Amino acid sequence: MRKVIGAALMALALNVLGPVSGAQQYEPSVGQEGKDVIWVPTPEELVSAMLDLARVGAGDCVIDLGSGDGRIVIAAAKRGAQAVGYEFNPDMVKLSRQNAEKAGVADRAAFVNADLFTADLGKATVVTLYLLPQLNLKLRPALLELKPGTRIVSHAFSMGDWAEDKKVEKEGRTAYLWIVPAKVEGTWAWGDAELRLTQSFQTFKGSLRTGGHSVTVNDGRLEGSRIRFSAGAQEYEGRVNGRSIEGTVREGGRDQKWSAALR
């Protein structure tokens, strides 16, 4: 599957850009104007920290939005991932392809000359960003529609009221991680039980009614498709699969299986 994705990404880049020429290498300057932001490269130490935070490895498809000189894409490819960068500046794209060839990862690193807001994110398992806060917010709705468990990593800037799942500091800079949560808002039922939830990104609250008795849902949390919460003396955990949840519930030191369906 990774070879198929990689071949498709490379074909796309070649169709857009054509073969690499032997022309003199383009040299960008820090602070140069771009379509949406000026170019300020992410330090190599933070690139490594960002990829560590997202646990990037073989089997991942990494998409970098605003890929600049290609350093994040190339670093991801060196870890065995298939990676693609979207960059509006065609000179930067050509430079990135040259850098990928020099690094020996041109078979896993592709670059597309396009507006980052047109990027096809459907195959991404990881999305990396170094954009301004307002651009992160503009992208946020599309990011939240990605497959639960997709990791989003941003250098320096947050996602507004979507709180990060983790963050790291490196050389005075910050990298933020978000894990796209499953959608659980609504009413879930099993047997005579009814679980009503309202969701805010990776957290949720609500109530559990069973046998005519209702208790408050506490500590509701999602990590991708994984769900956990407490209700009264019971501790629930499980995995969301679209309109169903399956997992275990613990009470008094004993575990039982539970499953629910969205009404």
pLDDT band, very low/low/confident/very high, at 23 (cuts 50, 70, 90): low
**Phi, psi of 15, rounded to the nearest 5 degrees:** -65, -35
User: Among residues 179, 211, 242, which one ends one of the domains?
Assistant: 179
- Position 12 scores a pLDDT of 45
pLDDT digits (tens, 9 = 90+) for 226-262: 999 999 999 999 999 999 999 999 999 999 999 999 9
Describe the strand order of the beta sheet including 109-113 as a list of residue ranges: 109-113, 82-87, 61-65, 126-129, 151-155, 173-179, 166-170
The distance between the two most distant Cα atoms of the chain, rounded to a whole number of Å, is 76
Residues 204 and 165 in one domain: no
Count of structural domains, the chain: 2
Q: Which domain holds residue 49?
A: 2-179
Q: Are residues 28 and 131 in the same domain?
A: yes
What pTM was estimated for this model as a whole?
0.88
pLDDT, position 37: 84
* Residue 190 and residue 108 share a domain: no
63 and 136 part of one domain: yes
> What's the CA gap between 88 and 117, in Å, rounded?
10
Among residues 128, 156, 179, the one where a domain terminates is: 179
CA 153 to chain centre: 6
List 190's β-bridge partners, or say none.
193
Does 217 lie in the same domain as 96? no
pLDDT at position 83: 98
Residue 159: beta bridge partners?
A: 162
Residue 38: pLDDT band (50, 70, 90) is confident
CA 185 from centre of chain = 21
In a shared domain, residues 45 and 171: yes
175-195 pLDDT, tens digit per residue, is 999 999 999 999 999 999 999
Q: Clarify whether residues 36 and 104 are in a common domain.
A: yes
Report the CATH number that the domain containing residue 52 is assigned in CATH.
3.40.50.150
Q: Which distant-in-sequence residues (6+ apart) come within 8 Å of 234 by Cβ? A: 249, 250, 251
Encoded tokens for 55:
């646990």
225 and 147 co-located in one domain:
no
Query: What pLDDT shows up at residue 11?
Result: 47
Tokens of 195: 């679980």
Cα–Cα distance, 131 to 135 (Å, whole number): 6
Final residue before a domain boundary, out of 143, 161, 179? 179
What percentage of the chain carries pLDDT values higher than 70? Answer: 91
Closest CA to 77 of 103, 53, 95, 102: 103
Q: What is the rounded average pLDDT of the residues 89-107?
A: 97
Write the single-letter amino acid at 226.
R
pLDDT at 24 over 90: no
Q: Tokens for 15, please give them.
A: 């169709």
> At 104, is the pLDDT very low, low, confident or very high (cuts 50, 70, 90)?
very high
Statement to judge: residues 108 and 238 lie in one domain: no
Query: CB of 75 within 8 A of CB of 100?
Result: no
Do residue 232 and residue 154 come from a single domain?
no
Q: Identify whether residues 232 and 129 lie together within a single domain.
A: no
Q: Are residues 103 and 175 in the same domain?
A: yes
